[in-house]
Amino acid sequence: MFPRPIQESSKSRQLMYKVALPISLVIWLLPMIAIVATAGRSLHDINYGNYWGIPSEWAFLDNFGEVFSSSPILIYLLNSVIITVPSIFGALFLSTLAGAGLALYKFKGRFVIFALFIAGNFVPFQILMIPVRQLTLDLGIYDTYLAVILFQVAFQTGFCTFFMRNFIADLPFELVESARSEGVSEWKILIHVIIPLVRPALAALAVLQFTFIWNDFFWPLILIQSDELRPITLGLTTLKGQYISSFNLLAAGSLIAALPPVMMFFAMQRHFIAGLTLGASKG
């Protein structure tokens, strides 16, 4: 383990670490604290320029109540789940296959294909707006969950393939070779040798993807117009007015929207951080 476990160092250093940890956390989260405080301010405080001082009154209940009453936020949250979860599974499935295909086999043209997957990631994606909208219209899926899901799967597959290919390429290749020499089929090598080894990477990737897809509001904006299909990020933008933005409600809403990804991270970190070591290092 690196760095050396703090338990192995002197008592005073352990104490220092335990003090430093919360202090650094507070500094790191200072902007976050400001967001929380903003969620508890009244709009008049904000219009008065009181961004950092003690609010004249705490308005947490009012603001969160307003967010819940002014928009069907629970439906938006549900929509976010409906869009995000299948997108993640789709992208992870396709990219694990493709990543393995690119990492475990040497055939001509693999770098070209790999390059295409990476290159697609680099495009300023807003420019794809009109062609992609047209595509979903042609496929007859405009203004459905499926339109957003399919696009997210396809678009995120680029990044995921890049990610998975690199992790798989880092695995000890001897494992694959020995399995092959024993006549194990390629498909079974993938299922029984590769996937168990890349589980931490898959878990990490799932968290990242959850965050990306959950937070995206551009594609739902382009591909969905019915209010009842909107994910939370898009639903919350209506708190931004033409002239007047309810910054306090925006902050409150964004805290609600940020909770699922953080909870996901908390739940998944066991799989990719705490304790589980990547098999590769032992091989």
Name residues contacting another protein, limited to 40-79 (CB under 8 A). 44, 47-52, 70
Nearer to another protein, 74 or 225 (CB): 225
Q: What is the identity of the amino acid at 277?
A: T
Q: Per CB under 8 A, which of residues 160..189 are in contact with another protein? A: 161-163, 166-167, 169-170, 173, 181, 183, 186-187
Token pair in block for residue 277:
């070591």
Which of 15, 19, 32, 81 binds another protein (CB under 8 A)? It is 32
By CB under 8 A, how many residues form the interface with another protein?
137
Q: How far is the CB of 60 from another protein (least distance, A)?
A: 16
User: What ranges in the chain are assigned the alpha helix state H?
Assistant: 11-28, 30-39, 43-47, 60-70, 73-104, 110-122, 129-138, 145-169, 173-181, 186-188, 195-215, 218-223, 232-236, 247-272
Q: Is 133 in the site for another protein (CB under 8 A)?
A: yes
Alpha-carbon span 117 to 158, nearest angstrom:
5
CA distances from 126 to 115, 120, 162, 216, 218 (A): 21, 13, 21, 12, 8
Nearer to another protein, 62 or 133 (CB): 133
Q: Is 23 in the site for another protein (CB under 8 A)?
A: no
Quickly count: other Cβ atoms within 10 Å of residue 9's Cβ. 13
Contact range with another protein by CB under 8 A, out of 57-65, 77-85, 244-252: 244-252
Q: How far is the CB of 83 from another protein (least distance, A)?
A: 15
For residue 146, with 0-12 CB atoms within 10 Å meaning exposed, 13-18 middle and 19 or more buried, which class applies? middle
Q: How far is the CB of 80 from another protein (least distance, A)?
A: 12
Q: Is 145 in the site for another protein (CB under 8 A)?
A: no
